[in-house]
Structure 1
Amino acid sequence: MNGFEFQAITKVAFGEGRSKQIAEDVKRLCRGVRTVLVTDPGLVQLGVPEPILQALRDGGIEAHLFSDVQSDPSSTSIDQAAAIIRQTGADCVIGLGGGSAMDVAKMAALVAGAEHPAEHYALMANPFEPKRIASIMIPTTSGTGAEVTSTVVFSTTEKRKVWGWDADMGPDLAVLDPTLTIALPPHLTAATGLDAIVHAIEAVAGKRSNSMISAFSFEAIRLLGQSLLIAVKEPANLQARGDLSLGAMLAGMAIEQGGTGIAHCIGHALGTLGRVHHGRAVAIALYETYDWNIEANVPVHADIARALGVADQGQNILALAQAGASRYRELVEQSGLKLSLQSEGLSQTDAMRFADIMQSEENAPMRNNNCRSSSVSELEQFAQTILSR
């Protein structure tokens, strides 16, 4: 049994319409009344930031908008957001969107108070200055858990997918408002929800798992497993959307403590190899590696199966664990997520480069934390299998 210390960095506020209280949140957290709202162009086009900006302004908060955020964000976006924060003298940054917008907001809040650009801090190469700017995250997807984690993922100018970490990167407040997730289309509901399920599974099965991670992960898996397909088919179902919001947040708490594993190693490698949405990439990766992982820890995978809703009918625990793998694959297939990567221009001719990226420095923490250790030949086989569809 692994020992642990736990202290949540982020306060969580949950409820339908809870985002309307954002001005009060800013006043309570920040020294001044200037904010920068970081979001993405798609949400701007849908008008999602407008009620948040209006609520801030109605509450006497000076609000500036930064929306130059791409899916799988770049270090350039982080540096640009940090420049806006400095120019406006903002003392609070709000991230509104999926993991990309929230990651940009989280890291920009630290870069804005530092001397160097974002890439200087990649892979913990250099420490950040102490945090001086508060951060609030408002997710509009239910997947990354970025609203409660102190890690970000971004691409360098050389297109390498890397990560940044600092204890101060953890947001001060996460506002979970399920009404903001209703506009998410079915294919993104599926991809982000599966990302959250993979988070919970990898955290509880990983080498750093502990009792706290188990509590977060199993409840996350239960909520996400029971409501993902409902939300895909009934986008306006607020009960299902609320379950996904809570499940993604709990899974985020789990990976904050326990990290991720082989599916995220493979998923990040896919993100470097081609323009594959992160949630879809990790969902595909676990689809292909779930059975292989079971061998390393059958009991925990049996518990995961129960959390996924598999009936325990007295079968041996290996059969139960394998039924959990089947249930996960059913979720992936029934969600409509595309397993083939041919439309992204990827094929088996890319397999060796794909496997090489899995072995890179930036993917080592995920690979090494996985419940089962992987050989080079196994990584090459995963690459071949994933690219053969």
Structure 2
Amino acid sequence: MSEFDFQTRTRVVYGVGRSKQIAEDVRNVSGGDRAVLITDPGLVKVGVADEIMSALRSHGIEVTLFSDVQSDPTSASIDEASAVIRASAAPCVIGLGGGSAMDVAKLASLVAGAEHPTDHYALMANPFSPKRTKTIMIPTTSGTGAEMTSTVVFSNKEKRKVWGWDYELSPDLAILDPTLTVALPPHLTAATGLDALVHALEAVAGKRGNAMIQAVGLQAIRMISGSLLRAVRNPADLEARGQLSIGSMLAGMAIEQGGTGIAHCIGHALGTLARVHHGRAVAIALYHTYEWNIEGNEPIHAEIARAMGAVERLSSPIEEQARAGSAFYRGLVEQSGMQLSLAAEGLSPADAQRLAETMASGENAPMRNNNCRYAADNDLARFAGQLLG
């Protein structure tokens, strides 16, 4: 039994329609009546941002909107959001959306505490100033688990995907409301749901895995594996959406403690090279590396397979159970309708060496090193060839 230190600072609330109580939450969390809402243009367009702003304003909360958030956010966007937070002097920042909007909200709330630009903190080159605002996250996807983590991912001015982390990046409150995920299209439900599943898988199997990570991670795997295809095929299924929402949150808890692995190393490299959607990138990466991961790590992958519901006979040999999990995962990816080819992003076999070199770059080393099985340079080259072949 390995030693561990497991902690979380984020309060979590769940309920159908729970987001309508956001005004009360702002007052309880921050003690004030002003907030900055950070979201993306898509949620403004479909009216979800208006619903949240209406719930705030109708109960006396003054709200400032920042919606210039794109998928895979840039440091420039975070700098703009930070300027809005400073100008408003609001005691509360709300992140509404997927991982990109929540990451912008989390990081901007800390960057706003000083005059340095976001790139000043990339890969923790410099420490943040103390946190001055409270943060509330309202996910509208079930994927990143950003509502539970103290890590953010963004592209710096050189367009490389980098990291920022600090315990105070952890939100003060996470509000899970499955009604806000119903409008998510099937292909994004699949991509974000598979992202959450990969989070749980890599945290449970990774080198930092322990009993506490397994407790939340294996439960996340159970909930996501049993509900993802239901939500893809019937987007209005609130029971399935709720299972995904809670499963994604638990997977966020798992990676907060256990980190990620080779699928995220590859996924971030794909994001740097061609801005491939993060959830799809990591899902495709694990599709090609799951079987390789099992060697030398059969017992934990057998546990994962059992949590997935992939094992028909518990008396089967451990290796057979572990490989049943790989087959289940690949089938789930295929049945979700995910496009496995990356040709539409402009990537071809000619880019394989560049992809392998990006996987091996310094910013991706923590994920490579934390994976349950270490990937040597020749392994990275082989994976790149498989993904782009």
Instruction: Place the TM-score, normalised by the shorter chain, in its bin.
Output: over 0.9
Partner residue in 1 for 2:136: 136
Amino acid paired to 1:104: V
Residue 242 (structure 1) shift: 0.1
Amino acid paired to 1:326: A
Amino acid paired to 1:79: D
Aligned residues: 388
Residue 312 (structure 1) shift: 4.1
CA distance in 2, matches of 1:181, 1:137: 14
Amino acid paired to 1:65: L
Partner residue in 1 for 2:105: 105
Residue 275 (structure 1) shift: 2.1
CA distance in 2, matches of 1:270, 1:5: 32
Runs of 4+ in 1 over 3 A off after TM superposition: none
Residue 256 (structure 1) shift: 0.2
Residue 315 (structure 1) shift: 1.3
Partner residue in 2 for 1:69: 69
Partner residue in 2 for 1:317: 318
Residue 34 (structure 1) shift: 1.2
Residue 356 (structure 1) aligned with residue 370 (structure 2): no
Report matched runs for 1:197-236 at 5 Å: 197-236=197-236
CA distance in 1, matches of 2:296, 2:172: 37
Residue 192 (structure 1) aligned with residue 167 (structure 2): no
TM-score by length of structure 2 reads 0.99
Residue 73 (structure 1) shift: 0.3
CA distance in 2, matches of 1:46, 1:246: 24
Partner residue in 2 for 1:328: 329
CA deviation profile, 1:77-108 (whole Å, cap 9, x unmatched): 10000000011111100000000000000000
CA distance in 2, matches of 1:115, 1:296: 48
Segments of 5+ residues of structure 1 without an aligned counterpart are none
Segments of 5+ residues of structure 2 without an aligned counterpart are none
Partner residue in 2 for 1:366: 367
Amino acid paired to 1:371: C
CA distance in 2, matches of 1:294, 1:272: 27
CA deviation profile, 1:125-176 (whole Å, cap 9, x unmatched): 1110111100000000000000000000000111100010000000000000
Secondary structure, aligned partner of 1:96: strand
CA distance in 2, matches of 1:236, 1:364: 40
Native 8 Å contact 2:94 2:135 kept in 1: yes
TM-score by length of structure 1 reads 0.99
Amino acid paired to 1:162: V
Native 8 Å contact 2:311 2:325 kept in 1: no
Native 8 Å contact 2:311 2:324 kept in 1: no
CA distance in 1, matches of 2:138, 2:187: 21
Quote the RMSD (CA, aligned, Å): 0.7
Secondary structure, aligned partner of 2:364: helix
CA deviation profile, 1:306-358 (whole Å, cap 9, x unmatched): 11111341210101100100000000000001100011110010011100000
Amino acid paired to 1:276: V
Partner residue in 1 for 2:8: 8
CA distance in 2, matches of 1:6, 1:295: 28
Residue 230 (structure 1) shift: 0.3
Partner residue in 2 for 1:292: 292
CA distance in 2, matches of 1:312, 1:369: 30
Percent identity reads 69
